[in-house]
Structure 1
Amino acid sequence: MVTFLFGISMGEIIIVFLVVLLLFGANKIPEFARMLGKGMNEFRKAADDIKREFEENTSDLKDDLHDARQYISEQGQDIKEDIKRAGDDVKDTFEEGQKDIKDRVREETEDIKGVMDDASKDVYGLDEDGKRDEAGSTKESDENEDKDIIDTSDDEKK
């Protein structure tokens, strides 16, 4: 079964045609068909007008919606860029701080190494070139000699 307009099949259209033929007669069918055609034409025009009006009214809303989407998209992009810039600033600050700390640690390590070298030279009695000084004595041996002198002077007093 083939359906045409508004879910009406061919058989139903034939039955309606026969009823109209019986009610109005053969002379009135062309006039009735003209009225039906005009009515359908006006119905289409009215439907088209409604559709056009609806599209005109909604086109403003669509434009507003498009503008709102565009604005939100731009704002989102600006926020992303701000977050990226802030992240880059934090990263740069962190890297600078890390570099400063490494430089300080390196300087302090060099200072400590210098102090340790000086202390070991003093302990072993080395001069700046790492050789024993001319007297050949070390502070440690000088201190031991001083202790021996003090000990002998204590023994003499007794």
Structure 2
Amino acid sequence: MIQHSTFLFISGTEIMFILFIVVMVFGADKVPDIARGLGKGMKEIKNATNDIKSEITKTASKSGLDTSVTKDVQDQLKQVKDDLEDFTGSVRRKM
């Protein structure tokens, strides 16, 4: 049985087709610039969300709000995610 790797439910063939279309539309010389711009944009979004999270946490702790509730929710979400990964992993292997 051959298992194909997928990324966001997209197979390798589909990724290659998308890359081919990108090269055809933008040209090979523009692809690195586009990828660099996307990388910088993703980094800025990640930094902005981290800044917002830290500001909210600081404000909550200064106001005397209990922030342990969010940690409990995050732990529960992590547990559900792990359980889901275990389930989908077994389903994926059987396909």
Q: TM-score, normalised by structure 1?
A: 0.33
Matched, 1:36 2:30: no
Aligned residue number for residue 56 of structure 2:
54
Two-structure CA RMSD over aligned residues (Å): 2.5
Q: Separation in 1 of the partners of 2:49 and 2:15? A: 23
CA pair 56-36 structure 1, distance change in 2 beyond 3 A: same
AA aligned opposite 1:23: V
Aligned residue number for residue 20 of structure 1:
22
Q: Separation in 2 of the partners of 1:18 and 1:53? A: 42
Per-residue CA deviation, residues 5-47 of structure 1 (Å, 9 max, x unaligned), is xx35353433332221111010111111111111111111111
Q: SS at 2:39's partner residue?
A: helix
Q: SS at 2:38's partner residue?
A: helix
Matched, 1:9 2:10: yes
Q: SS at 1:32's partner residue?
A: helix
AA aligned opposite 2:26: F
Q: SS at 2:43's partner residue?
A: helix
Q: TM-score, normalised by structure 2?
A: 0.50
Q: CA deviation at 1:58?
A: 2.1
Q: Give the unaligned 5+ runs of structure 2.
A: 68-95
Aligned length: 62
AA aligned opposite 2:61: S
Contact 2:60 2:66 in 1 (8 A): no
CA pair 51-13 structure 1, distance change in 2 beyond 3 A: farther
CA pair 50-26 structure 1, distance change in 2 beyond 3 A: same
CA pair 39-58 structure 1, distance change in 2 beyond 3 A: same
Q: CA deviation at 1:53?
A: 1.5
Per-residue CA deviation, residues 128-154 of structure 1 (Å, 9 max, x unaligned), is xxxxxxxxxxxxxxxxxxxxxxxxxxx
Per-residue CA deviation, residues 45-77 of structure 1 (Å, 9 max, x unaligned), is 11111111221122234x3449xxxxxxxxxxx
CA pair 55-20 structure 1, distance change in 2 beyond 3 A: same
Aligned residue number for residue 92 of structure 2:
none
CA pair 36-49 structure 1, distance change in 2 beyond 3 A: same
